[in-house]
Amino acid sequence: MAGNVSGNPVTDDIVRLIYPDVKDVTPQLRAKVAFQYMNAEGRDVNCKNFVYNLKQRYGNGISALCMLFNATGSSLTYVGYRDWHGHIYESPYPSVIQNGQWGGFLHVHPSAWASGSESAVVYRGKNSAGESCDWMLAWGIPYVGNNHAYTEIREAKHYETDNWDYIKGLLEAKSTHATDTWNGCYSAVTIGQGTSPEFVGIMSLDGVISERSAATLITLAADSATEDKEDKE
């Protein structure tokens, strides 16, 4: 298992342990069990520790401590990113996040000038009908001003078209929490306050996670933030 993912995948065998009488394991059911395993076996803590260790090695400076959870019922594959300000630090974006796993990375501000961390990442997976879809998750930590989080889901390869200026505008108009539901898929993101906050995202299927549950869980997960008096240097 790569260091930037944590937790054993939630497979059909695990689903049958929870639901021994089920005959056909659907993506919806795998996604549901993955959500139940979100904090099991210390997988969330391991992901947080991995990202905070990256932050410690990086040191002072505006940065996003990013943690993404897959509760889609199938694997998610990294397909792209967009940096408006800053870049990923040391460890790459997780190439594959399997169902029930967390993926973590650190995104930092550019060192050459006074600027923040503002970026987006895209993962491809499948909805309940087996159709490929792209989950896009974006965050913004400006040098001056409030933090932002934004997410949306579209058809596969949608983000290969250069709509990034438009998306940047949507991101900067948002507050610290956003959700989207599209074509049977669901996504929720939250970012904390401060200059080096946690950015937490959940990628799932529509109907698996209640809006209240997702908001509560990722808000709790993103509640802490590190802010050093030198973080904007």
- When comparing pLDDT for 55 and 220, which is higher? 55
Is residue 231 in some structural domain? no
Please report the pLDDT score of residue 138 as a whole number.
98
Is residue 143 in some structural domain? yes
pTM equals: 0.94
Residues 6+ apart with CB under 8 A from 163: none
pLDDT above 90 covers a percentage of the chain that reads: 85
Please report the pLDDT score of residue 216 as a whole number.
65
Of the candidates 1, 88, 103, 97, the one whose C-alpha atom is nearest the C-alpha of residue 44 is: 103
Strand order, beta sheet including 76-85: 96-97, 76-85, 117-126, 132-141, 148-155
Backbone angles phi and psi of 135, in degrees to 5: -95, 125
DSSP 185-202: EEEEEEE-SSSEEEEEEE
Q: What is the CA radius of gyration of the chain?
A: 17
How confident is the model over 197-226, as pLDDT tens digits?
999 999 999 999 876 677 666 665 555 445
Quick one: which H or E segment has residue 118?
A: strand 117-126
Is residue 144 in some structural domain? yes
Q: CATH number, domain at 95? A: 2.60.270.20
Of the candidates 146, 136, 231, the one whose C-alpha atom is nearest the C-alpha of residue 191 is: 146
How confident is the model over 97-112, as pLDDT tens digits?
999 999 999 999 998 7
Is residue 149 in some structural domain? yes
114: pLDDT strictly greater than 80: no
Is residue 30 in some structural domain? yes
| Domain count for the chain | 1
Is residue 107 in some structural domain? yes
Please report the pLDDT score of residue 80 as a whole number.
98
Please report the pLDDT score of residue 7 as a whole number.
97
Tell me which residue range forms the domain holding 192: 5-225
Is residue 164 in some structural domain? yes
Please report the pLDDT score of residue 224 as a whole number.
47
Is residue 232 in some structural domain? no
